[in-house]
Amino acid sequence: MNRVSSTPPDWASLPRSTPGIAAPEAGPVYEFYRGRRVLVTGGLGFIGSNLARRLVELGADVVVVDSLAPDCGGNPFNLADMRDRLQVHIADVRDREAMDALVAGCQVVFNLAGQVSHLDSMVDPFNDLELNARGPLSLLEACRRHSPDAKVVYAGTRQCYGRPLYLPLDEAHPNRPTDVNGVNKLAGELFHLVYGTAYGLRTCSLRLTNTYGPRQLMRHSRQGFIAWFVRLAMEGRTIQVYGDGRQRRDLTYVDDVVDAFLRAGASDAADGRVFNLGGSEPIALVDLARLIVAIAGRGQVELVPWPENRRRIDVGDVYSSYAAIQQALGWQPTTPLAEGLARMIAYYRQHWQHYVP
């Protein structure tokens, strides 16, 4: 079997994306996917579905698997208009027989299946362990046995760092997660690296920060605050921000995240590596809430005291350095925050009933 990475592109010379446009149509990283069989786990979810759609546009042979686990981000509507252009399998990555069949013949695997709610991980830590530790391990076992030449790109999280000892967070920052989700996501990432070292699988991980954009779950508030803020504003309700609202975050628009996955999946320079993503200049949550209200043209912002269960797992100011992936893969975020939010809000205006019950 040929290794898919035999002709790595020259990353430093790749054209930068134009702001507001997800990625250029040309360039070796995008040509790379034409005709290749690619698996996206968690592919009916927020980031997975945006990635799958982009892969279809690039001419890849796309296979999506998603378990539609309750309260996770899987939503069949996310790919409903693409049904005839890709395969969608409803299966759990922990289902050995299903995964053995699905990974066979895949040249790139984007491993995005998982549970992202920090709060849910504290309420049911065993479910989080199943979805975020056993899940990735199952996928890796399937790849080791049935697709040992595949490239595997994992969706990690900056949550593995915990409360920052310094800012911006770089990849050398100690891992001291503050919730069960952070521990399990870190374990999932480390399994990928172990399978790289021990079995020669070509694996890497992207540590995502706060991703936002179309197709994000907004049925409930437990999967990241951005979609919830957007929903509240669009409903004309009040966005409550905890404390003084000055805690700062960086945000990445989903098309930029998709671009990072595409680059990591196509490049040998990513093998065995862990890369932070990053985004806009860090913004205070109260300022973000006000920006969302301004763009939505509805809603209002209110400061409220910290609820105890959230205060205990909050991590204060958090933002990441993306210098390492910029150097290795030429990636950088390109979508200005106001523009990304405007596109997100426009999407939900059009498709509201598919995201809000």
Q: Give the CA diameter of the chain.
A: 59
74 — alpha (psi -120 to 50), left (phi > 0) or beta? beta
In the stretch 194-233, what mask flags binding to its own copies with x, by CB under 8 A?
A: x--xx-----------------------------------
Look up tokens 């426009």; give the residue. Answer: 346
Q: Which stretch binds its own copies (CB under 8 A): 57-65, 133-141, 231-239, 331-339?
A: 133-141
CB 201 within 8 A of CB 136: no
**Residue 335 C-beta: closest distance to its own copies, Å:** 32
Rounded Cα–Cα distance for residues 30 and 45 (Å): 22
Identify the residue among 241, 313, 325, 337 touching its own copies (CB under 8 A). Answer: 313
Shortest gap between Cβ of 274 and its own copies (angstroms)?
Answer: 9
Judged by CB under 8 A, the stretch of 51-59, 183-191, 224-232, 317-325 that binds its own copies is 183-191
Q: Is 135 in the site for its own copies (CB under 8 A)?
A: no
Rule CB under 8 A: is residue 350 a binding residue for its own copies?
no
| Span near its own copies by CB under 8 A; candidates 18-26, 108-116, 168-176, 292-300 | 168-176
Distance (Å, whole) CA 152 – CA 249: 28
CB of 145 to its own copies, least distance (A): 12
Candidate ranges 102-110, 190-198, 251-259, 260-268; the one touching its own copies (CB under 8 A): 190-198
Classify burial at 271, counting beta carbons within 10 Å of its beta carbon; exposed 0-12, middle 13-18, buried 19 or more.
middle
- Choice from 98, 103, 186, 337 touching its own copies (CB under 8 A): 186
Q: Which two tokens stand for residue 108?
A: 């790139």
What is the C-alpha separation between 150 and 195, in angstroms, rounded? 12
- Is residue 323 near its own copies by the rule CB under 8 A? no
Query: By CB under 8 A, which span of 19-27, 145-153, 180-188, 208-216 interacts with its own copies?
Result: 180-188
142: contact with its own copies by CB under 8 A: no
Q: Is 1 a binder of its own copies (CB under 8 A)?
A: no
289 binds its own copies (CB under 8 A): no
What distances in angstroms separate CA 121 from CA 118, 226, 310, one per listed residue? 5, 19, 13
CA angle 239, 242, 247 (to 5 degrees): 110
Q: Considering the rule CB under 8 A, would residue 137 count as an interface residue with its own copies?
A: yes
CA distances from 48 to 11, 176, 254, 353 (A): 24, 27, 10, 20
User: Hey, what amino acid is at 38?
Assistant: V
Q: Which residues bind its own copies (CB under 8 A)?
A: 122, 125-126, 129, 133-134, 137-138, 141, 172, 174-180, 182-184, 186-187, 190-191, 193-194, 197-198, 312-313
